[in-house]
Copies of this chain bind each other. A is one copy, B any other.
Amino acid sequence: MHPTIERARQAGLAALQPSARDLEYGLALHRRCLVIDGYGFGAMGAADPARLRALAAAGASERELADAREDGSMTRWASDAAQFQEAAEAWEAAGVDCVWINAGEESNEIGTLFKRLGRRTYACDLRPEFIRRAACPEDIPAAKDAGRRCLTMTANGVPLPQRWESVEDELSFIRPLFQLGVRMAHLVYQRSNPIGQGCGEPHDAGLTDFGRAVVAAMNRVGMIVDVAHAGMQTSLDAARCSDRPMVASHTVCHGLHPHFRGKNDAVMRAIADTGGCIGICAIGRFLGGTCDLRAFLDHVQYALNLVGPDHVSIGTDVAYAIAPPPSAAAAGSPLPARPPQRPHWRSLWPEGPAVTPAPGADLSLAWTNVPLITVGMVQRGLSDEVIAKVMGGNCLRVAKALWDGREP
């Protein structure tokens, strides 16, 4: 086991302290389950430092450098032999069959959304024996059966041509993005947009008139509506007007820890009423409490108690980050110092409640510890059936409902 993975595993075990029986049973159950990380990143690579340095020396703009870094992080785990080996170890340790993966930057601009999707698609095309695009829900169990993994593409924004000619014209890129593979998209991300209001804003009047049209179009096309980063009222309105199952793919229970990225009981119930899922994320400061794997399990249990076993899933929001080779690390930062940069548009992150994480909390929530979520649920006495739903069954059911109900 790679030292990074091993270190995280020890932190997770220290947090849970499972009995030998629960550990063995949980790990075996995890291998049997169809495991879907309902929002995440999988293994992420590292850009070639020499390439970044050469770009900077040639006067590359901040945008070019950001592009090169992101391209490296999203493709080099597949194109570079050493990184691929570590990525394969991470996937093996995580025991995840499919990640509903971030494949579209926080934006409504079509060109922006398109780049990340290209990078994810290309990585799959480079390693078809290891991982493939999941174009339809049936591809997910088929990948597991074939000993492969797969990625379901998702976007952090809805594509809008921004011609502002007619509502229908603004909706006209949702289907092409779906056709290119994107099966789920955020309505809003932290800030407000013409669709609704973000969870980082000081107020939230709810879904706009246009937002209702977006939800209807996504329902029709077959793209899952995701309110993970939407404001509370916007989330509630979206759930009430969606006629297909929808999700908060990576969130926490606001009733347990009042973080603005969480969803309150009313929103969670409304999402469950659509037939959808509340996905619990593995970000310590959103979880609160011990901010570790135990806190994650507390949120799973809270959600199960509130909305029942058919409406809770996981969406880790966490990547396994492949470290650059020691030689690159020794060479220091690949880029020369640059003047300070403005915060990115997406960075509207009010301070959340103060937290006091337990020692090793972040490490315990590493992506490669996903099997310990199953172990933790075993420890808490949840049935195999409930665990299988949380670990993937519920996401698969939602995906099937959207796929089967899509327009021709």
Contact = CB atoms under 8 A, between A and B. Distances in A.
Interface of A: 48, 58, 60-61, 63-64, 67, 71, 75-76, 79-80, 110-111, 114-115, 117-119, 121-122, 125, 128, 135-136, 159, 161, 165-166, 168-169, 172-173, 175-181, 408
Given A63-B169, A110-B111, 10 more contacts: A61-B168, A67-B172, A76-B408, A110-B114, A111-B159, A114-B173, A115-B173, A121-B180, A122-B179, A122-B180
A132 to B, nearest CB: 10
A117 to B, nearest CB: 7
Contacts of A128: 135
Contacts of A408: 48, 76, 79-80
A325 to B, nearest CB: 15
Given A135-B125, A169-B64, A75 B179 contact: yes
Contact of A177 (B61, B71, B118, B173): B118
B63 A181 contact: no
Contacts of A111: 110-111, 159, 161, 173
A174 to B, nearest CB: 10
A60 B168 contact: yes
Contact of A169 (B61, B121, B169): B61
A164 to B, nearest CB: 13
Contacts of A172: 63-64, 67
A125 B172 CA distance: 20
A214 B180 CA distance: 25
A176 B111 CA distance: 9
B136 A179 contact: no
A73 to B, nearest CB: 14
A176 to B, nearest CB: 4
Given A80-B408, A136-B125, A408-B76, A180 B118 contact: yes
